[in-house]
A and B are shown apart, each in its own frame.
Chain A
Amino acid sequence: DTGVSQNPRHKITKRGQNVTFRCDPISEHNRLYWYRQTLGQGPEFLTYFQNEAQLEKSRLLSDRFSAERPKGSFSTLEIQRTEQGDSAMYLCASSPGQIVQETQYFGPGTRLLVL
């Protein structure tokens, strides 16, 4: 068990560029979550997957954001036409997917800075 991994750990981009982040969950975890955290605030839920199905999306996930989990393993989060307001820490978490009240295991996050 190597934990949840996220790549890259840091990303600096210019406004208007597209960026893609990757999350590798704990092996055999069926649920995968994305959160966003801005400075001084708690993480905010963006979306979650049960296997490859995206089951819930937050209103925060505008049409510039898209998340996929094509084979029910790793997931990608893409932001198109980045804006300065997208600067944040993007956190991924996973859980086994066996019961409703489950512990979520978080990765170290990808810190995005949009110039």
Chain B
Amino acid sequence: DAKTTQPNSMESNEEEPVHLPCNHSTISGTDYIHWYRQLPSQGPEYVIHGLTSNVNNRMASLAIAEDRKSSTLILHRATLRDAAVYYCILMEYGNKLVFGAGTILRVKS
């Protein structure tokens, strides 16, 4: 399974943008980049996904490097409700999600 590398934890101030990095140097041409997050005591929740181009939705933006070996999840204005573990996942053909340890995001008021 393709692997990703994320920082163990990050901290942000409320109402400020947050950039969560992910390295995936062994990504293959058909791997999609997915982001999920897990709030305390809940199951994971889909955030965003993309293949090559940058993507935006109501929750976040995904910036993908030109060589696709890294990506960044951008939360434009962090709120206390965004405090969670964020997982960067490469999805191969098929549907199995392979989670790493993720990044713990702490948001300070």
Q: A interface vs B, CB < 8 Å?
A: 4, 31, 33, 35, 40-45, 48, 56, 91, 93, 95, 100-109
Contacts and interface: CB of A to CB of B under 8 A. Distances in A.
A25 B72 CA distance: 31
Given A91-B44, A106-B43, 14 more contacts: A33-B95, A35-B99, A42-B101, A43-B97, A45-B96, A56-B94, A91-B43, A93-B43, A93-B44, A101-B91, A103-B46, A104-B95, A105-B46, A109-B42
Interface of B: 32, 41-46, 49, 85, 87, 91, 93-102
Contact of A43 (B46, B49, B93, B99): B99
Contact of A31 (B32, B42, B91, B95): B95
Contacts of A104: 44, 46, 95, 97
B49 A48 contact: no
Contacts of B45: 106
